Structure formats: C-alpha cells, structure tokens
Amino acid sequence: MGVRRGAGLAATAALLLALAACSEPESADVPSPVTEKGPEPSSATSSPAVPVADPAHAVDPPGRRDGRLWSADILVQWDKPLDDALVKQISRLEGVAHTERIGLGQVSLENRVLTIAAVDPGDYRNFTRAEVADFQEAWDRVAGGELAIDRSVARRLQDEEGTIRLGVEDDSPTLHVGAYTPQIPTIDMVVNTAWAADIEMADDNGLLISTDGTTPATIRKPLERLVGDDVSVQMLDIASTLGLDPDAQLTALPTGGTLGSVVGVYRYRVLGGGRIAPEPSWVAANIRTEVVPILGAVTCHQDLFPQLRAALLEVQSRGLAGEINPDEYAGCYYPRFIANTTSLSNHSFGLALDLNVPGNGRGTVGEMNRDVVANFKTWGIAWGGDWRYTDPMHFELSEVKAVGG
C-alpha cells in the first residue's frame, strides 16, 4: 500500500502543526510562530529561509523535500552503533522496501521516560505523514538545532521560554522547542544528529524500515533471526493502535550521566494491566531489598541505597524523622508503566520512591516538610514538587554522589 503524498488544508489544520514561541533573548532573529493551521500547500515554494537558532548544534538545512514518502512500519533499536554489513542484509530481506538509520535514546523528564530520535532532517522527514514531511519550516528548525515534539507532550514539559531540559541533571542540555508535530509511533521527540553527543545518546543505533505494500508482521521472524535476541523489533502499525507492540522485546537506553551510567541497557516486555517484565538478568544485577532508616526494608536499585540511606540518616539526626510516615510509603521499584500511559517511570528502574502519599497528590503544593526536601536534594535526590506539573510525593535519583564510609 503506497503512502498518499497529497493532503488538503483541512488535514494540515487538524495536525496542529505550529511552531513554539521564540522568546529566547539571544535568539531575536528566530522567526515568530506560524499559525496553527500550518502553511498553505501552495506556499511550499515560497516560504522564507529560517534563521539558525543554535549554530553550535546546527546541521546543513534540508532544502525542499525530495523523493517519495515511505511508510514507517518497523523500528529496530540496538544498544550499539549499527553494523554496515548487517544493514545491507536487512535491506535485502524480502518485504523490506527502504531503510533509514537514526539514533535512539530514552530521556527522563519529570518521571516520564520518553524516546528521543537523533535524525538527518532531510531523510527522516520522508517517513512522516505527508503534512508533516512537507512542513518545511519545521525541518529547517530541527536542522537549526531546535526540537520537534508532539504538542501534548510539550505542554507538560516546556517552560515559559519554550525550552525543555533533556535530563535530570542541572547541566543537562536545554533545547528550544521549534515545532509541534505529530511523531512516528513510539518516538516522542526529534533532534538533529549534532545534539547526540551532548544528550549522551547514540546517533546510529536505530533503523526505520518501510515494507511499503507488504504486511510488516510477515517479515518479523526473519528480521528477528537476522538481528539477534538482544535487539528490539517493533511493528509500528501495531504500536499506532495499541501504543506499543505487545510482542516486542523493548529496549530503554537512558541518556545522561546519572541514568545512563546507573541503568545501562534496560530490556523489557509488556504484560497486561500496565505491567512490564524487565529482563531477569538486569533485575538480578541491579535490584536489592535492604533496610534503611525510618522506612525499614525497601526494594530499590542498588545504586540508590547509599544516598537514600545517607539522606534518611541526616533526617533522623536533625530531628525530622517524624516528618516521614513509613506507613504512607508507596514503594520504590515498580516495573510498570505510568498509569494510563505507555511511558516508563524511574520507578521501573528502582531509582524513585514515593513518601507521605495521602497529602501529596499530583498537581498540588503538597505537605512535604521543606527541610526534609532540602536534605534529600543535598544527597542528589530530586523532588517532584519542583516540577512544572508537581508530584510532591515523588523523589528520584538525579546525581550520583560519593558517600563516605
């Protein structure tokens, strides 16, 4: 089944293709947003050049879209750069019409683990819907160092200046949102490859596959035999309906110094009821049950315990133990998706815990003692009450700190 190249103005309007506000003081020459209906189809040959917003993270502008569109049918993710010979073998499989290399990583933003793709804007755009692929200004902005993201995801995460910090550390890269565009299933946001090193992600560990007129599921088994057991192979036609491919072994490669070094490669399968089954070897190597002050026995990632124990000991020494109610502790390691989503949380890695749950619901100021909060932050444990959409019961590892003996 071919991909329809044309689309009317009404379809373009429905996609809400709009650019984010450009209020950065040092980017005064970045163009102001286009209207939400997007550009008229006839404007494709006359839209003005878009100034580069971030020269340090810019790639060559893609120019006008060239060549045909391809359906995004299968997404393959490795935990290392792709081998040229293997890519050639994949492209020769019966049913594979076209492939595109991309980088894939997972970034933790306010307890949501989202997938980011580092792409060549000129080539990758041909795997998107026609209205998106032909939205020239969006791809010029990605080439110029800005971020393309679905509007609903951006609304939760971007600040008043239209920027999003990609990571839990204070020095994580901060990108300006250049375009609101619908994304390929399972991908939440897109940057150009010049950002990959700063985000601490690969720029060549993923492969998009178009099967064109062939049903994607028919090549699943030969593809899986070719790439091996440790590689994630997702059918995107299923993901577009269910949110995720239930038959796939999925992979998370958290970016950034803290999560990347602590979590490593996280493979899992989807179970019913929002639950997941992490790879047993990862669980055996990383998850422990230990006794800590105030809370007693808890099950968490082994690398959280030194800082968690130090923070709770200091809470005790300062006479604040009564501010944490062990009966209102809601756990640390929970291998499941965030409720009503297909997004992992840091609880899936055992790197977050929920305290004093009844009085600290999402979207509220909460009742957490601020001295306790400050103490946790001192030990590299961030607080969800600081987020744009607050979660004051939630604490998570944000920085690995050495704890003395």
On the 0-12 / 13-18 / 19+ scale of CB atoms within 10 A, 169 is middle
**pLDDT digits over 98-134, tens only?**
999 999 999 999 899 999 999 999 999 999 999 999 9
Q: Note the maximum CA span of the chain.
A: 69
Q: Where residue 369 falls among pLDDT bands split at 50, 70, 90? A: very high
The pTM assigned to this predicted structure is: 0.86
Provide the 3-class DSSP secondary structure of residue 43: helix
User: Which residue ranges make up each domain of the chain?
Assistant: 9-259, 280-397
Q: What is the mean pLDDT of the chain?
A: 88
CB burial readout 384-401, b (16+ within 10 A) else e? bbebeebbbbbbbbbbbe
Domain 280-397 has CATH 3.30.1380.10: yes
For range 3-23, the mean pLDDT: 36
DSSP state of 31: P
In the numeric block, which tokens belong to residue 391?
């979660």
pLDDT of 19 above 80 = no
Residue with tokens 């985000």: 199
**pLDDT digits over 235-288, tens only?**
999 998 888 999 999 999 999 878 888 999 999 999 988 999 999 999 999 999
In the chain, % of residues over pLDDT 70: 88
Q: What is the pLDDT of residue 48?
A: 58
DSSP state of 382: E
**pLDDT digits over 317-334, tens only?**
999 999 999 999 999 999
DSSP state of 330: -
- Say how many C-beta atoms besides its own lie within 10 A of residue 283's C-beta: 14
